[in-house]
Amino acid sequence: MQSIINIYLSNKKTNSLLLTLCLYCAFLLLCRAKLTQSIFYFFLVWNLFLAAIPYLLLQFAKQRIQLFENRKTRLLLFLSWLLFLPNSFYILTDFVHLQKGNPDLFWFDLILLFSFASLGFLFGLLAIQEYKNCFSLFYSNKTIKTSIPIICLLSGFGIYLGRFLRFNSWHILTNPFQLIIDAFLCLFSTEALLFSALYGSFIYITCLIKNHFYGN
């Protein structure tokens, strides 16, 4: 519990905003459930939780800065962060469910999905910012700056694996061989590469816009 409090207080202004937005999304979801007597969109809660993991992971690690001092631990932390990062942006693809919803609630569902997707995307942008803050202590600014577009493209590739091949982050532990084989085969798929480039470039451009208006 104390760790959670420390994480919250470490960046109280940002975390207060994130918590408020989470409550707003939950309120919209509960309103829809009340109106329709359906929990159809409740999967968004799980997706949003996954979206928050990369940001929370580095927030937690910052409270134990010694984790970054060991090269192996730092690498493991980075790979874990990178593995979950696509989840933050994946939630944007949940708009595919809009056509399955109640036609009478189209505009409500649109705002609902947009709210969850925007918050998930925000978690992703903040996670990338935390990556720069944490790892810039051990690597040059040029290395960090060069890694960002690569990370964004890998996130786009991860979104493709999740949306079309239905892989999840934990499959690297539960079904690693199939994940590796299918991911390798995707490298020869024009659809997979174009999708990854499209979403990866969009994430990167959004990062650049955020940095331009709000700084690094």
Q: Per residue in 152-169, pLDDT tens?
A: 999 999 999 999 999 988
Give the CA distances from residue 135 to residues 16, 103, 117, 143, 207, in Å, rounded to whole numbers and listed in that order. Answer: 24, 47, 27, 10, 17
**pLDDT at 175 > cutoff 70:** yes
Q: With bands split at pLDDT 50, 70 and 90, how would you rate the model's confidence at 53? A: very high
Q: With bands split at pLDDT 50, 70 and 90, how would you rate the model's confidence at 27? A: very high
How many domains does one find in the chain?
1
Summarised one tens digit per residue, pLDDT across range 111-150 is 999 999 999 999 999 999 999 998 988 899 999 999 999 9
Q: How many CA atoms lie within 13 A of 132 on its CB side?
A: 18
The whole-number pLDDT of residue 163 equals 95
DSSP helix/strand/coil, 140: coil
Buried b (16+ CB within 10 A) or exposed e, 26-47: eebbeebeeebeeeebeebeeb
The whole-number pLDDT of residue 10 equals 75
Return mean pLDDT, the chain.
92
Give the CA distances from residue 80 to residues 58, 86, 208, in Å, rounded to whole numbers and listed in that order. Answer: 10, 11, 24
Tokens representing residue 133 in the block: 């803050």
DSSP helix/strand/coil, 170: coil
**pLDDT at 184 > cutoff 90:** yes
* pTM for the full predicted model: 0.93
The four Cα atoms 48, 204, 169, 184 give a dihedral, to 10 degrees, of 150
Average pLDDT over residues 189-212: 96
Q: Which domain holds residue 175?
A: 2-214
CA 75/CA 147 separation, integer angstroms: 14
**pLDDT at 44 > cutoff 90:** yes
